[in-house]
Amino acid sequence: MITRMILIALLVGWSGVHTTMAADTTFTAKTTDADGVEMTLENARLYWEDQINETTFVPHEITYVPVKRGAATLNVQFANIKHIHIKPDHPNKGKAALNIALQNGKNGEFPLAQEVSLVGNSDFGEIKVPVQDLRKIVLMADDKQSNIQAQSKTP
């Protein structure tokens, strides 16, 4: 029992290590799914759960995209991404392949390292959609601090 509690504490603590964005930065995602339906998600993030045992799950919410490059896992930060085009099945991995275009003009195609869902809020409630069911994601940073500063300069 104590070992299980320590393991859960380590996993929960470990999941927070990957959050490198400022706490006041959120993202809006404009998406298109496989049926051509367009959605806008406020406070967009990626989500998955690790199952520890039959009744215990550890949730992960991240603002980066975990992809594979050979044996390595890359964590591409939302802030660096201009847009993502998703191919449903990577030929070698059976997972979605992402063509990621960065803000600096570079791009690359990578298989997902982890099966994840894109979650966020809409006027009608929370949205959760598996990334492999999407075809396009456009990310925009919503920096609350910048918005506050811009509003304070308005006469």
Instruction: Kindly give the pairing relationship between strand 38-51 and strand 117-122.
Output: antiparallel
| Amino acid 88: pLDDT | 79
| Amino acid 20: pLDDT | 42
| Amino acid 68: pLDDT | 93
How many CB atoms are closer than 10 A to CB 96?
Answer: 23
How many CB atoms are closer than 10 A to CB 8?
Answer: 16
| Amino acid 133: pLDDT | 93
Per-residue model confidence as pLDDT tens digits over 95-143? 788 999 999 999 999 999 988 999 999 999 999 999 999 999 999 998 7
pLDDT above 60 for 22: no
Per-residue model confidence as pLDDT tens digits over 31-90? 999 999 999 999 999 999 988 898 999 999 999 999 999 999 999 999 999 999 998 765
Mean pLDDT of the chain: 81
Task: Check: CB of residue 117 under 8 Å from CB of residue 47.
Answer: yes
Q: Which of 98, 132, 127 is nearest to 115 (CA)?
A: 132
Which residue bears the tokens 């490059």? 69
